[in-house]
């Protein structure tokens, strides 16, 4: 088969990759923290550092947000774009790929556990997490950091971040895994219907 014929007979597939949704939630948390930092600094230091606050401090924070957006969301999106579309030599090869890469029951359970446990941590601790962060910022601006940070608060803070990460990863795996599973089921159903269609004798 010559190259043009092979190209016409090939099958393409847009296949979802992990990471975009997880990165978006990571950026969301960073955006919230930067907002709190900006609010505290512009309120407490506006008079003492008139040459820095509010400008160019707020501009620097905006640039930091754009950099974070490019890192947490842009990189996974770029990976998504560069990985697609996938090209297969035949429909059978495509369907075999879909079957091999569909999530297993164990992966679904793991993602669901991450989503539930992490979501519970976020729901129960979100307000305290932000209040603790604001109090640390106030202490830091007075020059008391890190002596004023207790071990329990630090462990709680780290635990919340880990719980938030679990929630974002679990949700990302559930959504992308479900999408992959749906692609497999739709393709396999379509193939079964075409196989069952009677032919003229």
> Strands, DSSP E only, in the chain?
11-13, 86-88
Q: What are 41-61's pLDDT values in tens digits?
A: 888 777 667 777 788 888 999
Count of CB atoms situated within 10 Å of the CB of 85 = 10
In this predicted structure, the answer to whether residue 23 has a pLDDT above a threshold of 50 is yes
Question: How far apart are the C-alpha atoms of 17 and 21, rounded to whole Å?
Answer: 10
Q: Tell me which residue of 156, 120, 119 sits closest to 135, measured CA to CA.
A: 156
Q: Tell me which residue of 111, 86, 106, 109 sits closest to 187, measured CA to CA.
A: 86
In DSSP terms, which residues pair with 63 in a beta bridge?
none
In this predicted structure, the answer to whether residue 74 has a pLDDT above a threshold of 90 is yes
Span of 17-21, 53-57, 116-120, 138-142 with lowest mean pLDDT: 138-142
Q: What are 88-106's pLDDT values in tens digits?
A: 999 999 999 999 999 999 9
Residues 91-121 as b/e (b if ≥16 CB within 10 A, e otherwise) read eeebbebbeeebbeeeeeeebeebbeebbeb
Peptide bond into 146 cis (omega under 30): yes
pLDDT tier at 5 (50, 70, 90 boundaries)? Answer: very low
Where exactly are the structural domains of the chain?
10-186
Q: What are 153-171's pLDDT values in tens digits?
A: 889 999 999 999 999 999 9
For the CA atoms of the chain, what is the radius of gyration?
25
| Token output for 34 | 């930067």
């Amino acid at each position: 088969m010559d190259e043009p014929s092979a190209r016409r007979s090939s099958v393409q597939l847009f296949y979802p990759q992990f990471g975009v949704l997880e990165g978006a939630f990571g950026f969301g948390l960073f955006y919230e923290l930067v907002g709190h930092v900006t609010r505290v600094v512009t309120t407490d230091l506006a008079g003492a550092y008139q040459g820095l606050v509010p400008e160019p401090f707020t501009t620097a924070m905006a640039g930091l947000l754009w950099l974070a957006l490019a890192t947490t969301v842009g990189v996974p999106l770029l990976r998504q774009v560069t990985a697609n579309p996938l090209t297969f030599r035949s429909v059978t090869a495509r369907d075999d790929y879909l079957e091999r890469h569909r999530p297993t029951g164990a992966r679904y359970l793991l993602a669901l556990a991450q989503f539930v446990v992490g979501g519970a941590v976020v729901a129960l601790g979100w307000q305290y997490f932000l209040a603790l962060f604001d109090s640390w910022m106030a202490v830091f601006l007075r020059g008391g950091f890190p002596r004023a940070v207790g071990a329990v608060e630090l462990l709680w803070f780290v635990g919340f971040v880990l719980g938030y990460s679990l929630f974002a990863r679990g949700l990302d795996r559930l959504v992308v895994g479900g999408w992959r599973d749906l692609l497999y089921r739709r393709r396999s159903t379509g193939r079964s219907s075409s196989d069952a269609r009677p032919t003229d004798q």
